[in-house]
Structure formats: C-alpha cells, structure tokens
Amino acid sequence: MSHPTSGKADMKLFWACFIALVATSFVFGVRANTIGELQDSFNLSESQKGAINGAGMWPFALSIIFFSFIIDKIGYKTVALFAIVCHIVSLVLTLRASGYQDFYWSTLLVAVANGTVESFINPVVATVFNKQKAKWLNILHAGWPAGLALGALFCALLPDTKLFFDAVWKFRFALCFIPVALYALLILPRTFPVNERVAAGVSYRDMLREVGAVGFFIIGSLVYFAVVQMAGKEATLSASLIVGAVVGVAAGAYTHSLGNWLFIIVLITIGPLATTELGTDGWMPDLLKLSGPDFPNFATWIFVYVSVIMTVLRFYAGPIVHRLSPVGLLVFGAFIAVIGLNYLSNATGWTILAASTVYAFGKTFLWSTTLGLTSEQFPKGGALTLNGVSAVGVLFLGVLGSPYIGYKQDLDLDKRLNTPAHSTLYADVKAEKPNVSIFGSAPTLDQAKIKALPAEQQKQLEEVQAANKRSVFTTIALLPSFMLVCYVGLLLYFRSKGGYKPVDLAEAH
C-alpha cells in the first residue's frame, strides 16, 4: 500500500498529529487545574462544575462523529484547518467570559475543536503505520498525558500569575495559544495520506456495516442526549431510547447488519473507560485538594505526576502490547485501575502519591490500546469505527459520567452535613435552591456563604468535603470492574480462536 508520504515525511506527519493532541489536552489540563479559581470567580456549584466538565467532553464527540462520515470525502487537511480555526476562536471567547454561561459555551467550542483534532489524527496514524497500529496509536496518545502534564505544570509553577490580565484563570487559558500555534505551524505544510479503507476499495456501506443497527442505536441515543443538553433542554431516558431506536432501525435497513458483535462490546465498555480515565482526570485536582499534605499545589503536582507516568509508559507501549496482546493489556489495566481508585478513596497525605501511582499504571493503556484493538480488528470500518469508539466514550462521559460525579458529590455532601453534628454549619452554607441535572435535583452549597464563614467553621467544612470528595473514587471504581469482566470475556474468546491476531484488510476484503 503506497502513501504520498514516506520515511521522514511520515514522522513529520506523526509529530504534527502528536502536537495537535498535546494542544487539546493542554487545554483540558489547564481547565482541570483552574476549575477552583473559576468556582470562586463565578460562584459555581459542584453540579455546575460538572456541567462545564461535561461541556468540555460531549461536543468533542459530536464533532468526531460528524467528521467521521465525511472526512474521506473532504480530506484530512481540511478537517485539520477547521480544528485550528475552532481552537483559536474558542480560546478568544474563553478569555472574554464573564460568567457561568459564557464559560460554558466557550468550553463547548473548545471541545468541538478537540474532537475535530481527534477525528483526523487517529485514522491518519493508523493508515501511515498500518502494520503496527496498536504500537503507534499508543505512542500517539502519549501526547494526551503530555499535554495534561504541561498544562498542569504551568498552573503549579505560576499559581498566582496574572501577567497582562486581571485574573489568574485568564492568564492560564491564554497560555493555551502556545501549543495551538505550534501544531498549526506543523500541520500547514504536511501532505496527508488516503485512508486505508478507501485505498483498499472497501465501500462506504461496508464501513457502516461494521457499526450496524446496534452500534448506531448506541450512538443515536447518546447523541440525542448531547444535542438536547446543548439546546439547554432536559433529556429523558425514554426519548433517548426512542431516538436511538429510530436511528438504529434506519441504519439496519440500509446496511442489513446488526453490527460486528466484537465492536459492540468495545462500544459498551468505552463509556465506563472514558469516565475511569478522562472523568477522573477532569476531577482529580479538585477531589484531592483537601486531602493532601501541607505542600503548595499538591493536588496539581499529583495530576502532573500521573500524567508524566502515562506519557512515559505509552512511549514504550510497543514491547508491552507485543507481550500481552491488546486484550491482555486491557485486562491488566482494568484490574490495576480498580485497585488504584479504591486506594485513592482511602488515601490522605503523602499516601496519595502511592495510590495515584497505582491508578496511573492502571489507566495508562486503556484508551490508546482500545483504539489500537479497534483499528486492528475492524479495518473495514475505517475512520468511522476508530473515531466512533472515541465519540461514544466521550459522549457517555459528557452526558452521564462527568455530570454524575458532580451530582454524586452534591448529594453525598448534603447527607454528610445534614446531621445533628453539623446542623448549624449546614444551615449557614446551604443554598436556597437545589441544582437540577438529568439525574434529578440535588441540594448544594452557596460559595459566597462558605467564604463568609469563620475560620473554625471553614476548617470543619473542609474536613467533611475532603472525605466526601475521596469517596467518589470508590463510585468510579465500579466502572473498571465492569470493564474487567468484559475484557476477560474477550480474552477467553480470542484464546478459543487460537490467540489474538490483527485483521488483514487485504485478506478480509
């Protein structure tokens, strides 16, 4: 199979894609480590913080899905240029934000830009390195934790800097222009390859068959949730299932396929996976900030530490994937992630360092190895299956996973405070109106009232909040537990077939 690029040109294209991914996660890392400052500036509740984190995710998925259908028609470079424009505009709007709604919508546009990047980098790398997909997709996705680490590092090293701006958070988001400008300069001169599916002559309908009626049912249901939320309306489960069923039936009628059952299993596990990794990433600095030792910006440094571990391990994924196989690596990762999250839920002080190390080793290979498995097992699906997996994961996280983490905190904190031991404190800080989400209404606290508390009561509240935030890790740990069961099933299936082997598109077509 020939490409318009080869050798050094291939690597230049790879590094352009790598830095583009670094830019997306740099923004994510800055937001995750600045959400506390945003809460103070805009008087945000935990649920509103969850909504912002969600807005940073599910539009990402919508743009992935949209471009997956047309990217082979309009070309990778056109999509890359659109991503660059969206990143620049979204960051300008972020710096102009003056309240919750402004920041919510600018975050949403950032997510569109990030999803657009994801929609072209994965199929480009899978096509250029079509004989070692799992290895190179793991290396590519070392760019994600690298960007997280860099974004968090700037926040830790410049905790109070407002250079050229009137607020710390504005300076931090202005820094996001640096990686965006860098990847724009790297992308512009590059020549992009033709997708592996297209070059092999696999039809558009055959691509859709890999997803099939069941796959489109899942995608359709989650997309409905996302679009309704974007419109500011309340989505219901019944309406979501109906819309999903209509989409699924239409796809089934066109493709005459329920979908590749292995691919459906991947779709079912990717939502919990996204929440385990990206959901925890988005909340980690906030969840740990009250439980660490007396060390400046400890939670942010833990975020950097975990991200550095992931970056290094993903760069050396090749030998590990070769030894364990992608499915074996997923089993290992899910098992360690369960242990790590439960460890984090009970860790305080410097013990958090050990717990986060275990968690980092668990989550490192989950996302990138899933993409590698998808590209190796479903090459007929081209950009659609590869990006569809990312889309479903991020949709699940955005409309369900991240908002639920915030909702659960509001709900549990209310239960912890609404006791005889804390009755006076509870009355002093309780907000007049509950927050409403797709999970229902949850009591919340008034940030202005919290700031007005005497020092002794603030310390009392922080102790309750610290235990409450740590307990969320136990809830999240249920997700990789479910994934582990699914991955063990896949491992047994491939063993019954003589072992894991990538699908050769030339032989399969």
CATH of the domain spanning 8-201+261-413+470-508:
1.20.1250.20
Which pLDDT score is estimated for 508? 56
Helices (H) and strands (E) in the chain, counts: 26, 2
Q: Is the alpha carbon torsion for 258, 269, 120, 79 positive or negative?
A: positive
Which pLDDT score is estimated for 9? 67
Look up tokens 């988005």; give the residue. 282
Q: Which conformational region is residue 256 in: left (phi greater than 0), alpha (psi within -120 to 50 degrees), or beta?
A: left
DSSP state of 260: -
Q: Helix, strand, coil % (nearest 5) of the chain? A: 80, 0, 20
Structure tokens at 241: 């299932």
Give me the helix-helix angle, 204-230 and 382-396, nearest 10°. Answer: 20
DSSP sequence for 166-216: SSHHHHHHHTTHHHHHHHHHHHTT--PPPPHHHHTT--HHHHHHHHHHHHH
pLDDT less than 70: residues of the chain: 1-7, 9, 46-47, 50, 54, 230, 232, 282-283, 286-287, 290, 432, 435-437, 506-509
Give SS3 for 441.
strand
Pair 372, 133: CB distance under 8 Å: yes
Give the C-alpha separation, 133 to 476, whole Å: 30
Look up tokens 């590059």; give the residue. 190
Which pLDDT score is estimated for 459? 81
In a 10 Å sphere around its CB, with 0-12 CB exposed, 13-18 middle and 19+ buried, how is residue 481 labelled?
middle
* Residue boundaries of the structural domains of the chain: 8-201+261-413+470-508, 202-260
Give the C-alpha separation, 116 to 110, whole Å: 10
Our CA angle for 484, 257, 196, nearest 5°, is 75
Give the C-alpha separation, 393 to 372, whole Å: 15
**CA atoms lying within 13 Å on the CB side of residue 98:** 1
